Structure 1
């Protein structure tokens, strides 16, 4: 597979943060050091992964870490703090000193947890940049009677609530677009939540539900293995590996959705520090070795700097909020 690196350009006002800070302990908390932001970094950086080891976000962090070390000249220590839709790791980060030495990977959840009774919000963080994107897809069991998304929607209109879909959990990045599909297409579906993407996709492959909405790359093994078929891509364009699969927009539903991941710091981290980290990340994401690892995982290396990622988070919050509200109301 050959997917070219996407570099997005958005325009926002620069983040207005202060100048000189107290620099805290290195990643193992051994001692402390005071320095000007312009000297950053002078000691090890901790990069927390708020998800389980072995997943795409964890792989992204561990691929980025040595490349960031090359650019920054200090060690970048990766540490997993999973649980509660990422909120455990996010809450930890929000409590750290805003000095640039404690960072976290972030995903779409950073924009959505505020709608789900978690005690964190985008205001608790400042983004460093985006590093990866995984376009979504709608997939059905290989023996499904539906040959197109439009056929599925037509049946759903005729039989409200009859069609079911699996998701990694209510309000998750892949449950929310299913609510969006209902809203945009004027249909009623029944949600069957599972504890994560793997069991959710497995349930769809087994025919326990009508269809699955998830990351295209996460469904790929079942599709290539003959257990499932892609019905539509939730991307702007058709996927180059599956040119015969239309986008949802081509099927009459203007629905696009992708998972993504990046790096963030606690709110209040100085501009100078954010820029140093973002610049280093931009170099790392364009590294050929990084691109190969990410593309081999059926994801797209995608770089947005700190300003552009701030705009992404706001747009995701605006988009997901109404869908999550639908889920909470049982719609």
Structure 2
């Protein structure tokens, strides 16, 4: 019985999984291939210390790429058996994966994998999603196996959320280290990482619940559209590194499921970067757990960008373990 995908299958799956979202498109992950397993490591050289001093969002990003890879391999008829946080002496090692051949793949599996290549982060205003109550219920069931809770932010709470976002933006404007880091990662478009200008909204089209980025040139149909996206919150009971990893996996599942449904999405992380803002979200969403990441979900106004944001080459993230 086959117990390991061939090299070409693994490389193509890793390349596709690298479409996963990450903080400022930093792509802070590394894969190491052994004779019978694949290991996922965080890449501490790519942490953003001013924005993410604890490394929580780095681990969350790695959780997203882990789920993306599992989806990509399933579509290639390979199931994965994952051990998370396998080495207590090595905090960078986040998961190991072993494999078994699948005889059949469902249409849902194929749609989720196909969504990886189509997903784009939509930072422009969105329209309200249709038949949302049914979709939200399906998403809640999707994240439960990861031990993550999905909650919706009520419409009447949106103004308070927008005010919190504006206050955080104001505080960040005077943070030199944060602004220097942001300017390095956002808007340059010269490297296979970071956020290019065409993925950032022009100043007049910013969304109040979004992070303040340098003005870009992303385009949409309506220059005056008000954001009517649904706002979801992923939370966990505790706040360990395992919780961060599982939250990233849940985030990936939500983004891909929404993309497969024809919806646009945007991860919102700046509102969970401080203890005070997380406490506010906990009270706003009326949850007892720990807020990890927010997600905007809606209908894109006009066609989305054709070009995907850049990604690092596979040779920079996949390595064979030295014997």
Which structure's CA Rg is the greater one?
Answer: 1
Do both share a fold (TM > 0.5)?
A: no
More relative contact order, 1 or 2 (CA 8 Å, 6+ apart)? 1
TM class, shorter-length = under 0.3
Superposition TM-score, scaled by structure 2 size: 0.26
Q: Which has the higher helix share?
A: 2
Superposition TM-score, scaled by structure 1 size: 0.25
